[in-house]
Structure 1
Amino acid sequence: MQTPIDMTVILLTYVFFAVYAGPQLMANRKPLRLNAAMIIYNLSMVLFNAYIVYEFLMSGWATTFTWRCDLIDLSSTPQSLRMVRVAWMFYISKYIELLDTVFFVLRKKQNQITFLHVFHHSVMPWSWWWGVALTPAGGMGSFHAMVNSAVHVIMYFYYGLSAAGPRFQKYLWWKKHMTAIQLIQFILVSVHITQYYFMEKCDYQFPLWIHLIWMYGVFFFVLFSHFWVQAYIRGKRLPASKSTKEMNGPTQDAVTVVANGVHVGNGHVPQHSNGKIFMAKVKEI
């Protein structure tokens, strides 16, 4: 927290790895099987985010806050310092979440690394450095962090089940609703922060954060709405195109993995470990 230079270098390196260096590194390599690591990672993130939500609640949101014009506590009371601590924990969690992209790259799921994915993962920690550095006990400005952590408890639980293997696929019927939960998140954040503009008086110490949070909520609502339309209305989520299958292989949605390790697609076409499905045939690599 001494300077923004370190975190800016980390995030620029992340973007470079996600869009260029990582795909180049894996171009001539087989995708790694990281199921065990992903299960541990995702379940750890469930617990970590749940703890962050609890700390936000105990730091004011379930104790002394009014959920309206809650000011920044500039004192050194135990509750204020508790808010500072959980704000820093939330900030650090954004760097841990960069591993989401690392797993995508190493598993050659480059089609999952969209503009929305990279932008969201890089902008959040960058912007939160300023929030933690300047206003760590953020008052009403910390609401979106608490909601975001609550959403991530659900999200990483879903990812953990998904990584656990085919026997858990029947429990993932609510995949479509994950995006809906994200949209609800941005609606809640936008509605809460919009109160500021209709209050007769609110002496929040850093009004700039209010404006930025409002723009953040609206902007990401638009981006995730676009994703929703493309994925579930127009049906363009992970299209079964030649380019996608050649680059990444079939997705779990289109493939069932049986006990002997052979992948069986919708057309019951076997895909062995040294081949990829291409136009209903096994293409050797």
Structure 2
Amino acid sequence: MASFGNNTKILSYSYPFADLADERTRNWPLVESPWNVPALLGLYLMMVYYGPKWTARYKPLQLRLPLFCHSLAMACLNAYICVELFTATRALDYSFSCQPCRVNHSPNEMRIAAAFWWFYISKILEFADTAFFILRHKWSQLSFLHVYHHSTMFAFCWIFIKWLPTGSTYVPSLINSFVHVIMYSYYALSVLGPRIQKFLWWKRYLTGLQLLQFTIVLMWASQMAFRGCDYGSWLTPLGAAYMVPFLFMFGRFYVQKYRISTVAKKAK
């Protein structure tokens, strides 16, 4: 991964803070050009808008094999990212509370940058989740929360791989990749049929795990901002604020789906 773009001439783009881009990753695939983000986001949002209108004319597809393969591949990819981030940061004795991003080409630093690049790429691959919802006519799952989560996470990851590919970037990436190992493992198991689905009683705890994830990241980013950590001073408060709508929307989803439904069932 460290060899990406070594022989490629850096193009000149006019966008904010272009001169501050990290020299280790700015030439890597889907990182260099700022047009990658709006182009891919545009295609994604077009799929969200036009996809249901087109597929509604046809019968819903089951797609069990593609769903299983995609979910298994995503679980494995996130497991790889998680292990790489954990082992490389432990080898460098990274701090959990505050780790500045230094331009360093040591093997373990480049492992962290490469793992985060794969994390960024995984957010593009997650667009397939939306495609599966559309093709299977799972309209209720094609919510504002789902679209907002997928589109904004992709944009945020591009910002971090472009400017802060190492340092404290590892903390939310490590947590998120760990959560996604569990989440995609559940998705893979859930398509194997009723004989397996009866053992998936822990589905409701996935949303709780995501809420815990956002809470930890919010508290972690807030303490870095308050203590003036020498890491992305212009991005840390933004990252903390970014967690707030997720806590609200996932919290509301959890209450509506599990708390209210449980009360309704007991009332019957």
Aligning the two structures, in what range does the TM-score lie when normalised by the shorter sequence? 0.7 to 0.9
Distance in structure 2 (CA, Å) of the matches to 1:219 and 1:173: 27
Q: How many residues in Structure 1 have an aligned counterpart in Structure 2?
A: 232
Q: Deviations over 1:158-214 (max 9, x none)?
A: 111111111111111011111000001111111222222443x5322x212211221
The structure with higher relative contact order (CA 8 Å, sep 6+) is 2
- Unaligned 5+ segments in structure 1 are 237-285
Which of structure 1's runs of 4+ aligned residues deviate more than 4 A?
none
Say yes or no: does 1:230 pair with 2:230.
Answer: no
Name the residue aligned to 1:26.
Answer: 55
More strand by share: 1
More displaced, 53-62 or 89-98? 53-62
- Per-residue CA deviations over 1:30-66 (Å, capped at 9, x if unaligned) read 0112001111111111111000000111221564112
What code does the residue aligned with 1:15 have? Answer: L
Larger Rg: 1
TM-score normalised by structure 2 residue count: 0.82
Query: Contact 1:183 / 1:224 at 8 angstroms: preserved in 2?
Result: yes
Identity among equivalent positions (%) equals 38
Please give the per-residue CA displacement for 1:3-51, whole angstroms capped at 9, x wherever unaligned: 1212211112111211x21111111100112001111111111111000
Aligned AA for 2:38?
T
Q: Is 1:16–2:46 an aligned residue pair? A: yes
Task: Decide whether the 8 Å contact of 2:92 with 2:108 is kept in 1.
Answer: no
Kept in 2, the 8 Å contact 1:33–1:107? The answer is: yes
| Alignment RMSD (CA, Å) | 1.6
2:104 — aligned with what? 75
Q: CA deviation at 1:135?
A: 1.6
Structure 2 unpaired stretches of 5+: 1-30, 263-268
2: distance between equivalents of 1:140 and 1:68?
8
Asked if the contact 1:46–1:152 (Cα under 8 Å) also holds between the matched residues in 2, the reply is: yes
Residue number among 183, 192, 203 corresponding to 2:220 in the alignment: 192
- Taking the aligned partners of 1:50 and 1:41, their CA distance within structure 2 comes to 14
Deviations 1:130-154 (A, max 9, x none): 11111212x1133111101000000
Letter paired with 2:230: D
Task: Give the structure 2 partner of residue 264 of structure 1.
Answer: none
How is 1:70-149 mapped onto 2 (pairs within 5 angstroms)? 70-137=99-166, 139-149=167-177
Deviations 1:98-151 (A, max 9, x none): 1001011001111110000000001111121111111212x1133111101000
